[in-house]
Amino acid sequence: MSQSLAKVYLHLVFSTKYRLPLIIDEVRDPLHRYMATVLNNLKCHTHIINSVEDHAHVFFELARTIAISDAVEDLKKSSSKWIKTQPGIPQTFAWQGGYGVFSVSESGAQRVYNYIANQQQHHCKDTFQHELRTLLEKHKIPYDERYVWD
């Protein structure tokens, strides 16, 4: 094949450092738009971004020419710098050091989209910690509790 073709859907999850409730309503939508711009500049197509006070979910297609870790690093670094310029956000704002990223099949894409779209309702009854543990277990990703929560 003379062409390189790919379509890789990813569900990315990461929290604020120490899961502090710093993503306030006034910056939520502009933050999502900013993050989408960062990904789009990397040639990663963004499907949906949503967040609650202490974490964000991003559903996007990874560009064929970039590593997952590079896309995530650019997204977290750029958005952290941007959000610190917003009123009501402390200069000490930071994302957690790590992240969770999960592959999504074409047949599961709509389900993941809907799940991310409904984060506010979902988190009325579930914590980020429980949600992440559930995702890690569903995807059979081993983890050590001592190093997941920073």
Please give the residue that has the higher pLDDT: either 4 or 16.
16
In the block, tokens 């799940």 appear at: 115
CATH classification (class only), 8-148: alpha beta
Name the strands in the sheet holding 100-104, side by side, starting at the edge strand that comes first in the sequence. 45-52, 55-62, 8-15, 100-104
> For residue range 1-12, what is the model confidence (pLDDT) as tens digits?
688 889 999 999
Cα–Cα distance measured from residue 117 to residue 121, given in angstroms and rounded to the nearest whole number: 9
Cα–Cα distance measured from residue 11 to residue 73, given in angstroms and rounded to the nearest whole number: 15
What residues does each domain of the chain span?
8-148
Comparing 6-20, 70-84, 116-130, which segment has the lowest mean pLDDT?
Answer: 116-130
> For residue range 46-95, what is the model confidence (pLDDT) as tens digits?
999 999 999 999 999 999 999 999 999 999 999 999 999 999 999 999 99
Whole-angstrom CA distances from 12 to 24, 44, 67 are: 20, 13, 14
Cα–Cα distance measured from residue 17 to residue 94, given in angstroms and rounded to the nearest whole number: 5
